[in-house]
Amino acid sequence: MGFPEIRMRRLRTNATMRRMVRETTVRVDDLIYPLFVRAGQGLKTPIPSMTDCFHFSPDRVAEEAAEVADLGVPAVLLFGLPAQKDEKGSEAWSEDGVVQQAIRAIKSRTPDLLVVTDVCLCEYTSTGHCGVFRSPSARDRGMGFQPMNHRQDADATKTSSPRIDNDATLELLAKMALSHAQAGADIVAPSDMMDGRVRAVRQVLECNGFDEVAILSYAAKFASAFYGPFRDAAESTPAFGDRKSYQMDPANAREALREIELDLEEGADLVMVKPALSYLDIIRRARERFDCPIAAYNVSGEYMMLHAAAAAGLLDRDAAMLEMLTSIKRAGADIVLTYFAKRAAKLL
């Protein structure tokens, strides 16, 4: 049977009809709102590279989190900008670190709001990289972490990716995750892409009585060009080299599925694909293969591309935003991390 008995437009005749038969729905419950916390007091400073986004000091971030909670958004994701950086990122696990202070402030103000914390050293290290380095001579002798001479290493990495000491970094990431759990985080989210980091974090949480803290793994995080505005906002641009030796090659899909599988085996409760828009196929393949909650990060470059196009009068910002979020959900994501979360919540 075909036309005219079958007329597909019958189910598109009006808004109520379209709503009734809609296959994919974006809900406020699907969203996580990222927040940037920096050292200081009384700060709510606009971020030049990211429209409608701000740097908050720990004493001001709880106010923003309360607004997010009032909109019905279930969770925030915290990124920290410390007052001081060093080669090991020591402020990342400080009891009085900016994220640790922010967790306590948010939980005191809005205890039911879920607090997710980014677990990565890039914002805390003087190198801007997601791990610590081992000099070639130390590596040859089988020694552990040694401080690097940045100028010498910059010369050495002009034609190659930097040499991150994977295993030495795991210990520091575990310390960071534990400090977040001790401060009251509900979910820790390792985003560094070191091998074995989910197992290291899971073990330290279990051994210290934080077995109920969940792990959201940035399982398939690609070395993307779409992170530019974020790196400015988080002050985490690498001082030399790039991150291609640890973040994934954008050309690889099967490898992404293997990364997800390994992280689930190591104890991840939720997994993430990042970025979202250029990797909708990865989200779909992950959804078809894995029976677990899948998150996707609608990253800063995607966010600002839409803002730039809207500012130029090329499209309707809100309509394009909702269409974009719907595409991420339609691909198979259960959760969307997006800087549009507040705006989307108001419209939804």
Q: Is residue 175 annotated as part of the catalytic site, yes or no?
A: no
Of the CA atoms within 13 Å of residue 196, those in its CB half-sphere come to 11
Q: Which of 274, 329, 342, 346 is catalytic?
A: 274
Minimal CA–CA distance to 132: which of 173, 91, 103? 173
- Helix, strand, coil fractions of the chain, as percent rounded to 5: 45, 15, 40
Q: Which of 85, 88, 175, 221 is catalytic?
A: 221
Residues whose CB is less than 8 angstroms from the CB of residue 28 and which lie 6 or more positions away in sequence, other chains included: 71, 72, 73, 74, 344, 345, 348
Q: One-letter amino acid identity for 231?
A: R
What are all long-range contacts of 8-15, with beta carbons under 8 Å and residues at least 24 apart? none
Minimal CA–CA distance to 149: which of 87, 99, 98? 87
Q: SS3 of 86, please? A: strand
Token pair for residue 305? 């591309």
Q: Which DSSP symbol is given to 9? A: G
Minimal CA–CA distance to 223: which of 193, 183, 179, 259? 193
Token pair for residue 236? 């985490």
Q: One-letter amino acid identity for 336?
A: V
Q: Is residue 88 annotated as part of the catalytic site, yes or no?
A: no
CB of 55 closer than 8 Å to CB of 36:
yes
- Dihedral sign, CA of 333, 230, 36, 244? positive
What is the Cα–Cα distance from 294 to 329, expressed in whole angstroms? 10
- Kindly report whether the peptide bond that precedes residue 58 is cis, defined as omega within 30 degrees of 0: no
Q: Which residues participate in catalysis according to the annotation?
A: 221, 274
